[in-house]
């Protein structure tokens, strides 16, 4: 507008008009290019005021956007830290790749508290978009495991892409919390042996497990449909759960399975008993005696298993 005024009203050249407008709006303090009458000086004053208002408004919006973004991020990080600080009896998932993604879905479907630990920004963004609690860091290092409250966790899942990283993660977690249950992913049979020697409570190979499931799906498709209905966490009707019998709070110890009437009282089915020495009794009869340290493998709906746990006593294993 200033350029048009000086060009059309004052009859200056286009270059002089643009130059006069620029030095006026920028307030550099240069003098007038050509003499101005009172009307043009009044217009120039208005132009200066409009320029200052526009620049002030622009600076205000930029500052506001910066501060809002800064404080919003600060508040988000503070809230995230408060949530992590309150974690207890939770699960730690190391690695949010193709395997970790499905593990997180199952954890979320079960409604258990868990935190994801990953080093890659792309994976962190994907996990945050799903609404998961995420911590960026190297799972093989003690400092990041401690930030994820490994000392208060009940289970850690090492689902990193490297067998070596999973090995270091299991060793570090066991050193920081000897009582934690460690589940690890392995690509080779050699890695499975090393992870077991390092203290992993269970090692899963996607390739070996996938091959077995493919064969089972081909040979026994109806059985696989039933198993998938139990283990598919998002919409399943039946669950498998492990119940540990403790001397302190279990009234069923020393009784036979028939005497406890667990099936009649809860509706849940005891499909197997694992003795403390590792012996597995599949399809236990009514004469099977329940002993201290036994683990009952039970199947039922969520309500049936809740009633069963109330009978047997709480479990954190």
Mean pLDDT per block of 10 residues along the chain (317 residues) reads 61 65 61 63 68 77 69 65 84 93 89 92 91 91 93 94 94 94 92 92 88 82 69 64 83 91 92 90 91 90 86 60
Do 297 and 270 contact (CB within 8 A), yes or no?
yes
Report the pLDDT value the prediction gives residue 182, as an integer from 0 to 100: 95
CA atoms of 274 and 276, how far apart (whole Å)? 7
Ordered by start, the domain boundaries in the chain are 2-81, 91-204, 237-312
Report the pLDDT value the prediction gives residue 86, as an integer from 0 to 100: 84
Same fold: 2-81 with 237-312: no
Q: Between the CA atoms of 202, 203, 205 and 211, what dihedral angle is there, to the nearest 10 degrees?
A: -40
CA atoms of 31 and 47, how far apart (whole Å)? 15
Which residues is 275 bridged to in the sheet? none
Which residues is 184 bridged to in the sheet? 158, 203
Strand order, beta sheet including 280-282:
239-244, 295-300, 269-274, 280-282
CATH number of 91-204: 3.40.50.720
Q: Between the CA atoms of 218, 222, 228 and 230, what dihedral angle is there, to the nearest 10 degrees?
A: -150
CATH number of 2-81: 1.10.287.70
Domain spanning 237-312: which CATH class is it, in words?
A: alpha beta
CA atoms of 259 and 227, how far apart (whole Å)? 29
Do 169 and 160 contact (CB within 8 A), yes or no?
yes
Burial class (CB in 10 A: 0-12, 13-18, 19+), 287: exposed
Between the CA of residue 184 and those of 59, 89, 99, 313, what are the distances in Å?
53, 19, 11, 29
Report the pLDDT value the prediction gives residue 236, as an integer from 0 to 100: 57
CA atoms of 104 and 96, how far apart (whole Å)? 8
């Amino acid at each position: 507008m200033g350029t048009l005024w000086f060009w059309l009203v004052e009859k200056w050249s286009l270059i002089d008009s643009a130059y006069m407008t620029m030095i006026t709006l920028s307030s550099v303090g240069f003098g007038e290019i050509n003499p101005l009458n009172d009307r043009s000086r009044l217009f120039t004053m208005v132009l200066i005021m409009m320029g200052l208002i526009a620049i002030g408004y622009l600076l205000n919006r930029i500052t506001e956007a910066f501060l809002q973004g800064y404080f919003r991020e600060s508040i988000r990080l503070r809230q995230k830290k408060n949530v992590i600080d309150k974690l207890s009896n939770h699960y730690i998932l190391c690695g949010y790749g193709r395997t970790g993604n499905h593990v997180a879905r199952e954890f979320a479907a079960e409604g258990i508290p868990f935190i994801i630990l990953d080093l890659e920004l792309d994976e962190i963004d994907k996990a945050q978009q799903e609404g998961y609690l995420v911590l960026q860091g190297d799972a093989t290092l003690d400092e990041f495991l401690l930030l994820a409250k490994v000392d208060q966790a009940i289970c850690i899942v090492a689902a990193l892409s490297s067998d070596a990283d999973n090995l270091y993660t299991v060793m570090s977690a066991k050193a920081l919390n000897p009582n934690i249950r460690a589940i690890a992913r392995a690509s080779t049979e050699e890695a499975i042996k090393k992870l077991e020697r390092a203290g992993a409570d269970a090692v899963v190979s996607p390739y070996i497990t996938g091959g077995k499931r493919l064969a089972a799906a081909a040979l026994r498709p109806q059985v696989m449909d039933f198993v998938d209905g139990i283990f598919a966490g998002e919409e399943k009707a039946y669950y498998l759960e492990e119940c540990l019998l403790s001397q302190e709070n279990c009234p069923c110890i020393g009784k036979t399975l028939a005497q406890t009437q667990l099936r009649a009282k809860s509706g849940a089915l005891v499909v197997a008993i694992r003795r403390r020495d590792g012996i597995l009794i599949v399809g236990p009869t009514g004469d099977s005696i329940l002993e201290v340290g036994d683990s009952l493998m039970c199947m039922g709906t969520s309500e049936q298993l809740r009633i069963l746990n109330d009978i047997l006593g709480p479990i954190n294993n």
